[in-house]
């Protein structure tokens, strides 16, 4: 496995997701989040894969379920296909927006190499969801490095709870390959204790109206996939 640099990039955009409440959100009356039950999620990929929209939908759903949420977007040259990662932390009360190595409950990786890059952040017993897609980084494109082979197989020897899937065909089935991000988010959603109604309302709030219906269909595809895996 190649050595990777896990230094947090200098550009860190922190978003206090509670501000969404001022846009019409109402926390659930029966808050389900018990004391000391803070969870952490990383959504990782490269620029252009829709990781940021997926993280916004996730934050909306958690807020609607009554959680305190902190979202931090950490990225380099996202517009040029650089690494993009969003930290999402939620629970009864969250103070730190960034999660430390070895403390993440769920990693949702939109690309295989990014799964390796952020793997040290996963806690023992945590879940890793990997989209079986390869996007060559700049060193590979320039011939300075080779894309690692057999990434899922290597990861499977290190991670107890691993789910690898090719989400792109599911998005193509609903008519828009760009909805791959929502397919992947739905797979993660199937592991979280939120209702389908909550997710639907979150999509309606975060996704532009012109692509809302296709993204709802993409969510159903991903949710059915993980439901059948249980």
Percent of residues, the chain, with pLDDT higher than 90? 67
Closest listed residue to residue 182, CA positions, set 196, 169, 167: 167
Whether 21 shows a pLDDT value over 90: the answer reads: no
CA distance 21 to 40: 21
Model confidence, pTM: 0.83
DSSP 96-154: -SSPPTT-EEEEEESSHHHHHHHGGGEEEEEEEEEE------HHHHTTSS-PPS-HHHH
Which tens digits make up the pLDDT trace of 47-87?
A: 889 999 999 999 999 999 999 999 998 765 545 568 899 99
Domains of the chain: 12-229 (3.40.920.10)
pLDDT in tens, 91-147: 999 998 899 999 999 999 999 999 999 999 999 999 999 999 988 888 888 898 899
Q: What is the spatial distance between Cα 66 and Cα 84, in angstroms, rounded to a whole number?
A: 27
Q: In the predicted model, what is the mean pLDDT of the chain? A: 84
């Amino acid at each position: 496995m190649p050595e990777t640099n896990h230094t947090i990039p200098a550009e860190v955009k922190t978003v206090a997701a509670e501000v969404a409440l001022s846009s019409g959100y109402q926390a659930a009356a029966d808050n389900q989040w018990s004391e000391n039950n803070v969870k952490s999620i990383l959504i990782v990929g490269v620029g252009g894969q829709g990781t940021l929209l997926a993280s916004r939908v996730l934050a909306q759903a958690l807020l609607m379920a009554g959680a305190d949420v902190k979202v931090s977007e950490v990225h380099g040259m996202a517009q040029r296909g650089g690494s993009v990662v969003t930290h999402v932390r939620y629970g009864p009360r969250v103070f730190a927006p960034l999660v430390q190595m070895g403390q993440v409950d769920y990693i949702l990786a939109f690309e295989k190499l990014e799964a390796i890059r952020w793997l040290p952040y996963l806690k023992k017993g945590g879940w890793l969801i990997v989209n079986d897609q390869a996007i060559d980084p700049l060193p590979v494109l320039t011939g300075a490095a080779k894309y690692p082979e057999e990434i899922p197989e290597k990861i499977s020897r290190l991670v107890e709870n691993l789910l690898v899937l090719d989400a792109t065909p599911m998005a193509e089935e609903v008519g828009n390959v760009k909805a791959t991000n929502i397919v992947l988010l739905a797979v993660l959603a199937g592991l979280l204790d939120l209702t389908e109604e909550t997710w639907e309302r979150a999509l309606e709030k975060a996704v532009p109206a012109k692509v809302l219906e296709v993204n709802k269909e993409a969510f159903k595809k991903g949710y059915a996939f993980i439901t059948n895996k249980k």
